[in-house]
């Protein structure tokens, strides 16, 4: 058997969560909240089920949900997106990314990926017979070096993948980044995949530079979102993708034969719940408080935190504690001190190890306190 993914092992999230439960560790590794989701939204799912919404939803997604998403996009990003031809509900953001890549890529195509990169990107590209072309984000700010991107563009470049707010670093892209991107792709056939699952988890009054704000770029883009991240229900595995009518038509050709349609009652519930705009506009402030609480607690340890401008995550250097590789260090503190994190080198195919680990702070205050109490014991 010749593997399509010979260089791919088990996802670091699976590995670290298994290690966390084996050692009864506080899990600040895999990104998921440990506080309860909104009970009203749960009630709406139950109501939808009881009202009989238990059969297949339309292939492209429940119509009222797509309609209200289009309203949300218009109000947040001032762009008109047609719910019928430009939005598709998907079983999570990961699926949306994979299907978008499969829609576009052919063997031999090149895809620009910034490292550290969310762990599904490279295997998704390789499984489609395309070649990842890696560009390191500039450490420690994790900014994009657009001159480097320009140098790596060839006649085979088919796509550039963006992720903002960024997992694992919490970096965000700015209007300047968008201007550079626009220059690079104009007059080319390069597509953009923009992973924006953390669109609302953005701090310090920063603006989310969604590709949806730029209709000229949306023409050549797929933009991916996740309800799991917005409504604290990562286990629902529900999201959506936005694109141009032309690209979406092609996306749906694959989607209809891979998944067909998504869980109906949760779509019905979300269509109603999205009327409550406060539920998502307040998210940044909510998570920022958690970030700041975490930063404050961490000041008693010998970790040096990097900047986090968005997402669930904050990275930390540990050079004042150890000179181990980040993987060895993350495994050891899970086993010996009972705190699980994610080694950031797991997001680099290039093997870069800046000796940085990622913490997820989307946790109850007592969870964060318990973790830091344990981290303080590291000598």
Positions that interact with ligand GLN (CB under 6 A): 11, 13, 30-31, 167
CB of 337 to ligand GLN, least distance (A): 20
Among 29, 93, 116, 284, binds ligand PMP (CB under 6 A): 93
- Own/partner long-range contacts of 42-51 (Cβ < 8 Å, ≥24 apart): 44/268, 44/269, 44/270, 44/272, 44/273, 45/265, 45/266, 45/268, 45/269, 47/269, 48/264, 48/265, 48/266, 48/268, 48/269, 49/265, 51/268
Q: Does 27 bind ligand PMP (CB under 6 A)?
A: no
Alpha-carbon distance of 135 to 139, in angstroms, equals 12
CB of 92 to ligand PMP, least distance (A): 3
What does the DSSP 8-state code read for residue 143? B
Q: Does 222 bind ligand PMP (CB under 6 A)?
A: no
Among 94, 103, 157, 288, binds ligand PMP (CB under 6 A): 94
Among 70, 124, 157, 226, binds ligand PMP (CB under 6 A): 226
Are the C-beta atoms of residues 362 and 32 closer than 8 Å to each other?
yes
CB atoms < 10 A from the CB of 47, how many?
14
Are the C-beta atoms of residues 110 and 158 closer than 8 Å to each other?
yes
Q: Phi-psi region for residue 229, left (φ > 0), alpha (ψ -120 to 50) or beta?
A: alpha
Q: Does 33 bind ligand PMP (CB under 6 A)?
A: no
Binding partner of residue 220 among ligand GLN, ligand PMP, none, CB under 5 to 8 Å per kind? none
Report the residue number, 97 or 321, with the smaller CB distance to ligand PMP.
97
CB of 315 to ligand PMP, least distance (A): 14
State the distance between the two ends of the chain, measured CA to CA, in whole angstroms. Answer: 47
Tokens 């988890």 -> residue = 201
CB of 30 to ligand PMP, least distance (A): 8
CB of 239 to ligand PMP, least distance (A): 4
CA 123 to chain centre: 15
Q: Does 239 bind ligand PMP (CB under 6 A)?
A: yes
Q: Which residue is nearest to ligand GLN (CB)?
A: 31
CB of 124 to ligand GLN, least distance (A): 12
Q: Does 118 bind ligand PMP (CB under 6 A)?
A: yes
Q: Indicate the length of the chain as a whole number.
A: 379
Q: Give every CB contact of residue 271 below 8 A, 6+ residues apart in sequence.
A: 62, 64, 65, 67, 68
HSE on the CB side for 240, CA within 13 Å? 28
Listed ranges 79-87, 136-144, 176-184, 233-241: which one lies at the site for ligand PMP (CB under 6 A):
233-241
> Among residue numbers 176 through 205, which ones bind ligand PMP (CB under 6 A)?
195, 197
Binding partner of residue 30 among ligand GLN, ligand PMP, none, CB under 5 to 8 Å per kind? ligand GLN
The footprint of ligand PMP (CB under 6 A) covers: 31, 92-94, 118, 163, 167, 195, 197, 226, 228, 234, 237, 239
């Amino acid at each position: 058997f010749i593997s399509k993914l010979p260089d791919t092992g088990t996802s670091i999230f699976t590995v670290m969560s298994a290690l966390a439960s084996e050692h009864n560790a506080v899990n600040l590794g895999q990104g998921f909240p440990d506080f309860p989701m909104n009970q009203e939204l749960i009630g709406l799912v139950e109501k939808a089920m009881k009202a009989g919404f238990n059969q297949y939803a339309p292939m492209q997604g429940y119509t009222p949900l797509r309609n209200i998403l289009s309203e949300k996009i218009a109000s947040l990003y001032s762009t008109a997106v047609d719910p019928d031809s430009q939005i598709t509900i998907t079983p999570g953001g990961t699926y949306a990314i994979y299907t978008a890549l499969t829609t576009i890529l052919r063997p031999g195509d090149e895809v620009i990926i910034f490292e550290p990169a969310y762990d599904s990107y490279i295997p998704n590209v390789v499984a489609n017979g395309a070649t990842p072309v890696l560009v390191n984000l500039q450490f420690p700010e994790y900014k994009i070096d657009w001159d480097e991107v320009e140098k790596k563009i060839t006649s085979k470049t088919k796509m550039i993948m963006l992720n903002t707010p960024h997992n694992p670093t919490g970096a965000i892209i700015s209007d300047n980044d968008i201007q550079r991107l626009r220059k690079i792709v104009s007059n080319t056939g390069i597509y953009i995949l923009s992973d924006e699952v953390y669109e609302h988890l953005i701090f310090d009054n920063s603006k989310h530079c969604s590709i949806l704000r730029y209709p000229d770029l949306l023409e050549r883009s797929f933009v991916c979102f996740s309800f799991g991240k917005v409504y604290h229900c990562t286990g629902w595995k529900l999201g959506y993708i936005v694109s141009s009518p032309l690209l979406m038509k092609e996306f749906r050709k694959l989607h209809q034969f891979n998944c067909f349609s998504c869980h109906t009652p949760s779509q019905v519930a979300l269509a109603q719940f999205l009327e409550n705009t406060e539920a998502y506009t307040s998210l940044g402030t909510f998570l920022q408080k958690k970030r700041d609480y975490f930063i404050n607690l961490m000041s008693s340890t010998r970790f040096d935190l990097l900047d986090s401008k968005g997402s669930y995550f904050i990275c930390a250097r540990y050079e004042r504690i150890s000179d181990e590789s980040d993987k060895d260090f993350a495994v050891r503190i899970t086993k010996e001190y009972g705190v699980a994190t994610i080694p950031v080198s797991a997001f680099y195919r290039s093997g870069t190890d800046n000796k940085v680990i990622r913490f997820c702070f989307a946790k109850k205050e007592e969870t964060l306190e318990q973790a830091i109490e344990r981290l303080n014991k590291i000598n």
